[in-house]
Amino acid sequence: MTQKIRIAALVSGRGTNLQAIVDGCRQGLIDGEVVLTITNRAQAGAVDRCRREGIPCLYVDNRRFSSRESFDAEVASTLRQARVDLVILAGFMRLLTPVLIRAFDGRIMNIHPSLLPSFPGLHPQQQAVDHGVRFTGCTVHFVDEGVDSGPIILQAVVPVLDDDNEESLRQRILHQEHIVYPQAIQLFAQGRLKIEGRRVRILSSSG
Ligand code: GAR
């Protein structure tokens, strides 16, 4: 049996991806456990989810810190103390600094609601509608020091319909996010992700 990995989630919003991952762990789809959640928003919906699920949730108020680096140093130290194997960003609306990225090099994942490298940054669904693309989707990637730019693990494609707006597209993409994020985490848990420069090789399950 595979050893369970210790997962920490950084969240700022509703936490539906966090929920999908917690459910995936409980259902045995992920050989892991969410041992800690950190939020920079006390009112985030994800906080209520943690309470319901009995997952420790730590609120770190970024306004207490004089720099992004000092906030990240505190987060990195907390994650180290919790002996975390993998950090997942699940709607965490802050850019990480090298302080945190280097502390967990190759062990931080993010999900972004577009087919990267198209439409990084804010409002990717609106960007897709405005640009007139026929397909968009979501991307799970390792985090590097750029914005939504790290090596890509998995993607899912979502068609853009003629009457789509930001909200309708957001919902259909989110549905796919809840499928691919747990899958990517399970590949990591199984030790099947190998970063080779910009590319991520997925090793076969037999090794
Ligand atoms: C998700 O759509 C996620 O892809 C996006 O925030 C939403 C969080 O929803 N993340 C980004 O845009 C990061 N650049 P959730 O809180 O319900 O999981």
Give the pLDDT of the chain (207 residues) as one tens digit per residue.
568 999 999 999 999 999 999 999 999 999 999 999 999 999 999 999 999 999 999 999 999 999 999 999 999 999 999 999 999 999 998 999 999 999 999 999 999 999 999 999 999 999 999 999 999 999 999 999 999 999 999 999 999 999 999 999 999 999 999 999 999 999 999 999 999 999 999 999 865
Q: Whose CA is nearest to atom 6 of ligand 1?
A: 91
Residue minimizing CA distance to atom 9 of ligand 1: 91
pTM over 0.85: yes
92: exposed, middle or buried (C-beta count within 10 Å: 0-12, 13-18, 19+)? Answer: buried
DSSP 160: P
- Determine the pLDDT at residue 205: 85
The first and second tokens of residue 143, run together, are 């985090």
With tokens 């730019």, the residue in question is 149
Tell me how far the alpha carbon of residue 65 lies from the centroid of ligand 1, in angstroms: 24
Give catalytic status of residue 131 as yes or no.
no
Tell me, what DSSP letter sits at residue 197? T
Distance from residue 94's CA to the centre of ligand 1 (Å): 12
Structural domains present in the chain: 1-105 (3.40.50.170), 110-207 (3.40.50.170)
User: Which atom of ligand 1 lies closest to the CA of 11?
Assistant: 16
Atom of ligand 1 at shortest distance to CA of 173?
2
